[in-house]
Structure 1
Amino acid sequence: MNAGRWLPVVPSRAAPLSLFCFPHAGGGAALFRPWTAPLARVGIESCPVQLPGREDRFREEPFRRVDLLVPRVRAVLEPYLDRPYALYGHSMGAIVAFELARALRREGAPPPAHLVVSGRIAPHLVDPRPTLHDLPDDVLLKRLHALGGIPDALRAAPELLAVALPLVRADLELNETYRYVAEPPLPVRLSAYGGADDPKVDATELSAWSSQTAAEFRQRTFPGGHFFTQNAREAMLTMLGLDLAAGLGSVTR
């Protein structure tokens, strides 16, 4: 498999910790570019995973089911799991990172030093909110804009929307059709981040992630809504660096 398509930044053996990052619906590796320098200052290498259907992979068909995507990602990352690493995912990306961690455990692969999820209810909960992926285009656009996921400039550019909306819809389908299967809690540190005003996940739904780890659990709340990772980026990255660095001393390969 061509890892270069999936990993714009190939993990370095010199890095104390590589952080594999998974985006929200419609997002790509470019979202994590501003993370590089702040995390590097605390010894963490940001390694975004570029999923099919976006940015330089826009001609490829996006995945619509988590159970089909995770084995592909696992195969790409396998050569780099012999060194300290962690997983991060926001919203849709959170469930991909979580299921990847569980798949790696089932296969006896080296576990992540830390799993960080943000902007998503715990996987074993049933989301009471209406689904988005099956809405008509105009209604979907309004809902996404209300969440802060569609900038005004994009809404005003039909030619760009024609490319972006099918990807967002496919990613939403991947997230909203996910069905949890019970397994023992993961033996890894787990941190759950949320926005104080996120309409997609409240504090109780975020804290429920605690049942998915047999190790240390931390819950962090930041100013902002569903996309607090952009609006409160500096504070979020500072805390992320601290949380990840806290476990570095106990990780060896």
Structure 2
Amino acid sequence: MSTILFIPARYASTRYPGKPLAALRQPDGSSKTLIQMSWEAAQGIRGVDAVYVATDDDRIRTHARGFGAQVVMTSPECENGTARCADALANLGQSPDLVVNLQGDAPLTPPWFIEALIDAMKADTSIGMATPVLRCDAQTYANFTEDRRNGRVGGTTAVFDRHMNALYFSKEVLPFIDPGKLPDPIPVFHHVGVYAYRPEALAAYVASPACQLEKLEGLEQLRFLHNGTPVRCVEVDARGRLFWELNNPEDVARIEGALEAQAQ
């Protein structure tokens, strides 16, 4: 089964302009940009035939080529990472069996998260789209709730049915839990910003308009749910690693801390 992985990257982020080129301190004292770290993370994934940075920005293209990445240019009209992956696939003119979207703000994504998606879609050909979910540990849950208390948008949470098909995704912390009755394990699942699609699901996505929920939450996966396309959630295990995306400038310190912890 042929698989292409795209890392969509845009410079004009509303919450964090220039985010793909943000420099993060490495455990050895050097620094790497967010997009380079994401590209390096993609190199260790089994079952991926090619990795491309997908961007509409010349600064990102020049930088990515400088560290050895293949780059495919996309339209500046792409509204989100899923649309950028669809445009990149059309511009490549290839027909893979699967397309993976590793968003460029998630350099802490372990390779086994994406391998689990690929394996799930190989095992069930009826799945048109899949995405990983990770049960929150106490620290991650605290990060979520701290962000919301301070008016920041942190990570995304997912709720799903007994068949692991998504019911909803939100930038709020779902489900609500009474702070005095926090159960163990915590029944909150962090949605990891990675998607695997079959090409026909991508084509159907860009052929339909954005729905109101997608616009309100700023989450492209809600368009799939609105259109009745099941989204399979694949639970993954962090194996002791802290997972966090870079959504706000405040997240730089969190990710640098996680890198330091991994090195130790």
Calculate the TM-score normalised by the size of structure 1: 0.34
Query: What TM-score do the two structures reach when normalised by structure 2?
Result: 0.33
